[in-house]
Structure 1
């Protein structure tokens, strides 16, 4: 706690004096002494009860009581086997806090994540630092006491936990997930269990996970990271987007992946947690934490590339269509869209006339046809001209001679 609450204080006399005072009141006890002669203090049963009364009403979680354990033969008080690990966890939290990543009351340790088979995967440390661009991140602190493949299994369990539904999930959602393998990927993250526990990360994917290695060599870290990258690829690696333009879209789909970053406690202590000391699995080089967690080749790039590819495809199709546009055999003009449609659609093609001429030429033909038809109609409607009769004088002369 001294490292977390007073990270820049090189002398712990004030903290030691307070601990001694608490010890006099039977609220704390020394559990172990580390190799560097620093003492590991823990709460007694009485102190644990007092801490719960003080902190839990304020929403601050208190860790489980560390009970005394004695050697069955000698009766000597035994220290916990993970005191060095606990110190590494606290030191990691202190370095994050020193860099402005997380409030000192924004850290939780030993947070359980129950899987479908009942197994509980406990995170060594959980930090919530929305103001630093890290709304939530899980941390596993490894002093190389675990095999690299054990860390892969931890990664798998966090990935599986991120795919669970809450117990009160809607029936149609449960039925969808049970219908086929991988159907959970069609369920929005807002409907999954992890969103009941943690806030949105502000990025694609599941809850970020960090592996912090401590008290080990650079070679061992490199070997462990290589195993994580290869054996754990299914859980951290993004996928290709299912796009209509696969050659144009190089973005990656991170929505079902666990963002995994790695660093060492020694780097955090030397350079600070805000420096470029974090490496994202699948990338080369080290970045700041927020840069490592961001996905510059993710969904934002996908939307931009998809839009550009779609626009380019529309331009290409428009150019190809324009190249196919008919040209009037009479005047040489290109057909309008209306005339082109008129000669190609079956219901209008039967009345389109000469399909090799454009709209204006077709209008001229129609005008001539209508003019000819009108002339014929007028001619047919005109009264007949009178027939030629006999000459008048000649007829009268005949009658005159007969009388």
Structure 2
């Protein structure tokens, strides 16, 4: 609580005094004292009710009430085994807050995500820190009390939840997904359930998930991460883009993947949550949280590579076409696009004349034919010349005989 509420204070006196004051008003109580003498404080029933009245109108859910039940035989407080895990969750939130990732009201615990079969997958911690470049992040805090394959199952459930349709999705989309489940890959995220609960992430993919390991060894963490990477590949790994330029496009499609990052609570405490302490599954080395969540080989690279490949393809096709362009057998010049089309298109080739000559030479041919035709027409229409003398004399005698008769 001290690190979460007063991350800049070097001592916890202010937080301790505040808790003591709340205890005097019966709003909080000490549930247990850990081995390192840190106290675990929880809300009383009265404090829980006041917290709900304060926070729920602001859209902030609080965790369930921790009832103060005791074992009738031993007198020990029941449910106290959850304390170490709860402390790890709170400590993780405190380290995120100390690094400027999330404000006090931007953290929620035990948030349920209901699957299609009715199962509810609860996230240990949800942080919303848009000002830090992390609009939403789900966190699972593991003290290595769970088998690695159980974490893979959790990852699968978050992946399945991210593929559910919203209740108000249009009927055509609902019917399509019911008849062909893989059709969800082509449904915009705006029509999915997760977008009714969380804001856009600002990146490709589903809601990002972080596994924070606490109170364990480096070897155990390494083994667990190896299982997550191998057995959970279907859920976190990007796909190849469906493109015509497979060799030119090396970008990966993250749209259907859950971005998964891992770290340890020890690293967060030692270096701070804002440092390069996060490793993205499928990558080597550690990065800052925003860098780990970004996809430098994703959509932006795809659009750039696709545009370059498309431009190169157009250039290559143009060069191939130019190499095939016909050359006039009469003058040696290349055909224009118009003349090339005239000589090859079925609807115009029959009237294109000599198919081996260019447009200018074809125009010359037409001009010569038209000139010859015009000359022939003029010659046919011209008078035949003066009559011979004996024909004129014969005509006069015939006319004289006709008058006399």
Normalised to the residue count of structure 1, the TM-score between the two structures is 0.95
Contact 1:45 1:65 in 2 (8 A): yes
Decide whether aligned partners of structure 1 residues 89 and 380 sit closer, same or farther in structure 2, where only a CA change above 3 A counts: same
| Other-structure match for 1:207 | 207
Give me the whole-angstrom Cα distance separating, in 1, the residues matched to 2:160 and 2:114: 10
Instruction: Determine the C-alpha separation between the residues in 2 that align with 1:341 and 1:277.
Output: 64
1:32–1:79 Cα contact (<8 Å) kept:
no
Shift of 1:351: 1.1
Structure 1 residue 76 displacement after superposition: 3.2
Q: How does 1:105-116 map to 2 (within 5 A)?
A: 105-116=105-116
TM-superposed CA distance for 1:186, in Å, is: 1.4
The residue that corresponds to 1:400 in the other structure is none
Structure 1 partner of 2:316 = 316
Q: Deviations over 1:82-106 (max 9, x none)?
A: 1111111111111111111111110
Any residues of structure 2 matched to 1:55-204 within 5 Å, and which? 55-78=55-78, 80-204=80-204
- Runs (4 or more) in structure 1 with deviation over 6 Å come to 391-394
Preserved CA contact (<8 Å) 2:211 2:263: yes
Give the match's secondary structure for 2:388.
Answer: coil
- Report the equivalent of 2:366: 366
Deviation at 1:27, TM superposition (A): 1.9
Matched, 1:23 2:12: no
Other structure's SS at 1:35 match: coil
Q: Secondary structure at the match of 1:84?
A: helix
Moved more, 164-173 or 13-22: 13-22
TM superposition shift of 1:200 = 0.1
Structure 2 unaligned regions, length at least 5: 397-405
What does residue range 39-54 of structure 1 map to in structure 2 within 5 Å?
A: 39-54=39-54
SS at match of 1:82: helix
Counterparts in 2 of 1:288 and 1:391: CA distance versus 1, 3 Å = closer
Equivalent residue, structure 2, for 1:250: 250
Contact 1:31 1:79 in 2 (8 A): no
Partner residue, 1:401: none
Q: 2:207–2:258: 8 Å Cα contact kept in structure 1?
A: yes
Secondary structure at the counterpart of residue 128 of structure 1: strand
Q: 1:273 aligns to what?
A: 273
Relative to structure 2, which stretch is displaced further, 152-161 or 377-386? 377-386
Aligned pair in 2 of structure 1 residues 392, 88: CA closer, same or farther (>3 Å)?
closer
How far apart, in 2, do the equivalents of 1:368 and 1:279 lie?
Answer: 81
| Structure 1 gaps, min length 5 | 397-403
Please, which moves more after superposition, 59-68 or 179-188? 59-68
- Contact 2:353/2:362, CA 8 A, preserved across alignment: yes
What displacement does 1:72 show?
3.0
Distance 1:54 1:319 in 2: 71
Matched, 1:339 2:339: yes
Q: 1:247-284: per-residue Cα shift (whole Å, max 9, x none)?
A: 10000000000000001111111111111111100001
Query: What is the CA distance between 1:387 and its match in structure 2?
Result: 4.1
Going from structure 1 to structure 2, the CA distance change for 1:113 and 1:390 (only over 3 Å counts) comes to: same
> Which residue is 2:291 aligned to?
291
For residues 99 and 154 of structure 2, what CA distance do their matches in structure 1 show?
27
Question: Structure 1's 266 and 382: CA in aligned 2 closer, same or farther, altered over 3 A?
Answer: same
SS of 1:76's partner is: coil
SS at match of 2:164: coil
Report the CA distance between 1:181 and its aligned residue. 2.8
- Displacement, 1:13? 2.5
Question: Residues 353-398 of structure 1: CA distance to partner in whole angstroms, max 9, x if unpaired?
Answer: 111111111111111111100000001111223442439999x9xx
CA contact (8 A) 1:327 1:358 kept: yes
What's the C-alpha RMSD, in Å, of the aligned pairs? 1.8
Q: What is the CA–CA distance in structure 2 between the aligned matches of 1:105 and 1:323, rounded to whole Å?
A: 68
